[in-house]
C-alpha cells in the first residue's frame, strides 16, 4: 500500500467538522510471512511525506529467512511531530463501534497496536491471514495531525521442486505400468511398476498399482502389498489424494470384475486412513 495521507482533527474540534478517527483495510496477500506498516506525522494538513517502506524492506529481506530481528532497527520513518494512536483490529463490528466513538479503546491485536506513536515501522507476524483494520485516532482534543502511512508485505513464493532424471524416469515407468493395467496386461504392469520403484522407492502410486494387480488376481499377498503402499502414501505430501485414488481403483475393479476377495477389507483400511486425514485437517 503506497503512501496514504489523511488529516485527523482533535477530538473536540471534530464535533465541528472533520474527523478524529479513521481506518485502513489491510488484506495480507496469500503466502504472507510478515507485513509492516510505517507512519510519520506532521502538523500541516495535506503534507505528504514519502517513507519508502517497500524499498527499505527489499534491501533487507533474506529470501530464506525473511528479515532478521537485528535488521529491524535500520527501518526508519521520518521524524513525526504529533502523536497518533493506531489499533490493529480484526473485527468489523468492533471497528464500527470504535469509529463511531462508542468505544474509546477497542479490542485489538497487541503486536500491531501502538499508542502515542509519532513515527516508526511496526512489524506484524501473527495477523497474516484474513482481513484486518488499522484504526487511527488523534488522542489530542485540540491539535490536528496529518498522518502518512505505508504498508508492505513479505510474501513467500513456493519453489518448484526440480525432479532428477532418475525420478522422471521412474515416473515414466510408472505411467507406462498404469497404461498396461488399463490395457489388461497385468504382468507388464507389475514389471514396469517394479522398475519405477527400483528407481524411486517413494513412488507410492506405483506400489498402489502393484497392490491392485495382486488384488484383482486374487493373490494372497494383496493385503501385504497394500500395507506397503499405505506406508509410502502416508509419507507423501498428498496423502488424501492418493488414498482417494486407491479406493476409486478398487471400486472400478469391482464394477468390472464383480466380487473380489479381500476388496472390502482393504477398502475399509484405506477409508479409515482417509477419514483420519480429514479429521486432522
For residue 42, list its beta bridge partners: 146
Q: Residue 203 sits in a domain of what CATH number?
A: 1.25.40.10
Mark whether 139 and 21 lie in a shared domain. Answer: yes
pLDDT above 60 for 15? no
User: How remote is the C-alpha of 278 from its chain's centroid?
Assistant: 18
Q: Structurally, how many domains does the chain consist of?
A: 2
pTM: 0.56
34, 124 Cβ separation under 8 angstroms: yes
**Contact criterion met (CB below 8 Å) for 42 and 146:** yes
Nearest to 210 by CA among 187, 242, 243: 187
Band of residue 77 on the pLDDT scale cut at 50, 70, 90: very high
Q: Does 160 fall in a domain?
A: no
pLDDT at residue 18 above 70?
A: yes
User: pLDDT per residue over 32-64, tens digit each?
Assistant: 989 999 999 998 888 889 999 999 988 887 765
Provide the residue count of the chain: 281
**169 & 115 share domain:** no
CATH of the domain at 43: 2.60.120
Residue 63 confidence (pLDDT): 64
Q: Are 165 and 191 spatial neighbours (Cβ–Cβ below 8 Å)?
A: no
For residues 202 and 236, the answer to whether their CB atoms sit within 8 Å is yes
Percent of the chain with pLDDT over 70: 92
The residue among 92, 120, 155 that closes a domain is: 155
HEC states along the chain?
Answer: CCCEEEEECCCCHHHHCCCCEEEEEECCCCCEEEEEEEEEEECCCCCCCCCCHHHHHHHHCECCCECCHHHHHHCCCCCCCCCEEEEEECCHHHHHHHHCCCCCCCCCEEEEEEEEECEEEEEECCCCCCCEEEEEECCCCCCCEEEEEEEEEEECCCCCCCCCHHHHHHHHHHHHHHHHHHCCCHHHHHHHHHHHHHHCCCCHHHHHHHHHHHHHCCCCCHHHHHHHHHHHHCCCCCHHHHHHHHHHHHHHHHHHHCCCCCHHHHHHHHHHHHHHHHHHC
Pairwise CA distance, residues 181 & 200, whole Å: 20
Phi-psi region of 40 (alpha: psi -120 to 50; beta: other; left: phi over 0): beta
CA distance 54 to 43: 25
pLDDT digit string, tens, across residues 114-161:
999 999 999 999 999 999 999 999 998 888 999 999 999 998 877 667
Q: Are residues 240 and 273 in the same domain?
A: yes
Do 135 and 106 form a contact (C-beta atoms < 8 A)?
yes
Report the pLDDT value the prediction gives residue 214, as an integer from 0 to 100.
Answer: 97
Together in a domain, 188 and 133: no
Range of the domain at 174: 165-280
Q: Residue 279 has what pLDDT?
A: 63
Question: What does pLDDT average to over the chain?
Answer: 90
pLDDT, tens digit (0-9, with 9 covering 90-100), for 248-267: 999 999 999 889 999 999 99
Same domain, 110 and 173: no
Query: Is residue 225 over pLDDT 90?
Result: yes
Terminal CA-CA length for the chain: 33
For residues 132 and 38, membership in a common domain is answered with yes
Amino acid at each position: 500500500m503506497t503512501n496514504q495521507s489523511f488529516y485527523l482533527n482533535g477530538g473536540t474540534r471534530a464535533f465541528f467538522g472533520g474527523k478524529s478517527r479513521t481506518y485502513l483495510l489491510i488484506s495480507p496477500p496469500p503466502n504472507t510471512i510478515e507485513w509492516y506498516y510505517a507512519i510519520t506525522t506532521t502538523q500541516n494538513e495535506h503534507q505528504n511525506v514519502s517513507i519508502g517502506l517497500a524499498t527499505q524492506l527489499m534491501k533487507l529481506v533474506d529470501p530464506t529467512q525473511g528479515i532478521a530481528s537485528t535488521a529491524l532497527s535500520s527501518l526508519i520513518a521520518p521524524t513525526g511531530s504529533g502523536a497518533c494512536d493506531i489499533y490493529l483490529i480484526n473485527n468489523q463490528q468492533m471497528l464500527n463501534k470504535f469509529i463511531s466513538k462508542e468505544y474509546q479503546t477497542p479490542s485489538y491485536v497487541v503486536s500491531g497496536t501502538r499508542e502515542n506513536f509519532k513515527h516508526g515501522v511496526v512489524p506484524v507476524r501473527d495477523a497474516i491471514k484474513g482481513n484486518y483494520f488499522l484504526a487511527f485516532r488523534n488522542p489530542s482534543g485540540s491539535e490536528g495531525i496529518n498522518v502518512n502511512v505505508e504498508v508492505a508485505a513479505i510474501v513467500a513464493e513456493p519453489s518448484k521442486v526440480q525432479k532428477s532424471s532418475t525420478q522422471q524416469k521412474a515416473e515414466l515407468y510408472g505411467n507406462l505400468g498404469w497404461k498396461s493395467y488399463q490395457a489388461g496386461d497385468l504382468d507388464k504392469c507389475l514389471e514396469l511398476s517394479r522398475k519405477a520403484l527400483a528407481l524411486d522407492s517413494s513412488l507410492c502410486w506405483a506400489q498402489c498399482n502393484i497392490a491392485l494387480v495382486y488384488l484383482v488376481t486374487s493373490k494372497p499377498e494383496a493385503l501385504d502389498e497394500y500395507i506397503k503402499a499405505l506406508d509410502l502414501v502416508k509419507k507423501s505430501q498428498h496423502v488424501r489424494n492418493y488414498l482417494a485414488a486407491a479406493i476409486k481403483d478398487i471400486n472400478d475393479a469391482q464394477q468390472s470384475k464383480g466380487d473380489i476377495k479381500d476388496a472390502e477389507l482393504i477398502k475399509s483400511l484405506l477409508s479409515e486412513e482417509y477419514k483420519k486425514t480429514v479429521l486432522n485437517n
